Structure 1
């Protein structure tokens, strides 16, 4: 028989039944990395507002360098590359950190619950993949537009002219929209590495951080070597598959049936093989064929090495994709992507998300 201290009235009991279930155990890094994880919204926001506020009060102050590109050439209506571009990079790394955490916490997680996600892990994964889908959808469309402004654009079957990647070499000056696109992409990849390091690691952490490091290295090399057309081509070849995969995962996390999710995964497989192996292989071929005409032997083969490392990582994930398909047919069930699950079963979320849930 329960003691009187544990008895509750039917009214009180009904009220307790309406409370949300306790969230999963939170696993997060400790120390400085954990602190950065807990302040992904308020930390960057303070700095962003300080920069914008300083610019509004003092338009010609140093804050202007964070918000706008310098070194404008009115004769060609382009912007030359400059060390000041690094200010822009820092500002947008902070901005993407704030936007990702805010959109996940206040838009995507509530949306996941309304659409039927039943566990906190599904809610969190939906938010992560929803952000990826949103960003890459925008970046791919803008990247294809910028690519079509260059002579390297071919057609919608084979996107590139291999003999046109070095047209107008060296490309030290870029149109405003192209420069914005390139440096926003650079900022995004730096921010992705930052998030990987401060949030709890996943099973494929080493593969992901290796992929991000190689990608960032190739971006830096393309800027230093003045071949941003190559970088633009790599961006669009990589982004399309991530849109479809992230969208399919979102549907899976909200409980959509396999008859909907499996065709999307099949579409993703086709896009992955075409863009990340055929088209990206075409880019490697173009550099191998023409890069030696413009750079030293060490530089030429160094870039080839980075490109091949990235391709080898793509083959590693292709093997994972085939393994998922095998499991799907062997178990006669739907697609289950376990490549980026946590090391342990409880959900892992940034601290700012858990603060929102507890409130």
Structure 2
């Protein structure tokens, strides 16, 4: 074979590997919501515009020739947003939950509590209220349940903190998506049909990257550091928490509640794997809520770390894939190793600990179920803990199976059928008579 022939063959093999990685990566839903359909509608409109110009320029010609190249759309075209991202007035946004996708409305809603909190301080300062009058709005902004030794316990104010920070995460998510990641997608010359996907994964990389670091930092200060699972039980119950642990846990709860609200209320267009993601979010909220109530925050932090670290690498791999598909193989391989270790090896280790080390809980603390006295660990509670972790592992194994099946089929049989979690409209070349190839 000639040198040029070898080059063509090598290039073709490289493209096939990259495409295989693309298809495999698309199998893993990164705890993200829907891909909005506005980019498809805009691409369709742009296609008609190009087609009309091509048709008028070729009237009277019998031969149809492809255009010499595809020009890049103008920035103003790429950055046009769908209707769901424009406010219809604060009250209408509030009633319809559009505030979750509109940063200006999220900001207005979020500012209500700080204004009320400062108003209460002003009334105290003016002598209208007694200095001993508790500020009812403080629980939304600050952690509740501080003890005399500087640590924290559970408190009813935690509900207010989580709900207010649900609005906070909506503001952060949409501000990052619209004002940072969309312009970044244009700068990288990402196809319009993939801009929304890039922004989803970019935000996931941002969130999980930060929370992975926070989780590892919090876990490092605990006796369970790097999965010494016996300490999930030996010192139980873990009623007192450091400021860092409680803040980390409640911010995670607020994030997952916000993600679940977007999905359940269908604020954005549902994905094809909508019900699988709903199941994942339900199990996640189940784990977060019960582990916090039952004083099992140590095991909760350990599970958070396994999920967040692997999600960080998924997000990075997908972002690289959207920017330059030819460079997607190395980060994909790293992601696959991290996913296997974090989501399967470590999670199964945690699951086995629930099954085999439960007896390490001091006997006095695993006999009675009495929520009013903060006693939660009768013998049957072992299975209430075991089941949601097992369900989470089943969901992870399902995604792992899909990932490996597509990768195997693509590499061995060169079958690159894309069974992605949501349909994606690709840009097609346009012929001079206005028809796509």
Which runs of structure 2 are paired with 1:1-359 in the superposition (5 Å)? 20-21=76-77, 35-37=96-98, 40=101, 41-59=103-121, 61-75=135-149, 77-119=150-192, 121-153=193-225, 159-197=226-264, 198-254=267-323, 256-258=324-326, 260-291=327-358, 293=361, 294=366, 295-330=377-412, 339-342=420-423, 345=425
Conservation of the 8 A alpha-carbon contact between 1:34 and 1:199: no
Conservation of the 8 A alpha-carbon contact between 1:151 and 1:167: no
Q: CA deviation at 1:162?
A: 1.8
Indicate the SS of the match to 1:58. helix
Q: CA deviation at 1:32?
A: 9.2
Indicate the SS of the match to 2:152. strand
Deviations 1:106-152 (A, max 9, x none): 11001010111121x31111111000001001101110111111111
Q: Please say which structure displays the higher CA radius of gyration.
A: 2
Indicate the SS of the match to 1:174. coil
Whole-angstrom CA distance in 2 between matches of 1:332 and 1:38: 45
Whole-angstrom CA distance in 1 between matches of 2:203 and 2:151: 31
Listed as ranges, the gaps of 5+ residues in structure 2 are: 1-51, 58-72, 85-91, 122-133, 367-376, 428-437
Closer, same or farther in 2 for the Cα pair 1:108/1:25, shift >3 Å? closer
Report 1 or 2 for greater relative contact order, CA contacts < 8 Å, sequence distance ≥ 6.
Answer: 2
Conservation of the 8 A alpha-carbon contact between 1:37 and 1:199: no
Q: CA deviation at 1:321?
A: 1.0
Q: TM-score, normalised by structure 2?
A: 0.67
Conservation of the 8 A alpha-carbon contact between 1:27 and 1:200: no
Q: TM-score, normalised by structure 1?
A: 0.81
Query: What is the RMSD computed on CA atoms of the aligned residues?
Result: 3.0
Listed as ranges, the gaps of 5+ residues in structure 1 are: 8-16, 154-158, 348-359
Whole-angstrom CA distance in 1 between matches of 2:231 and 2:78: 58
Q: CA deviation at 1:333?
A: 9.4
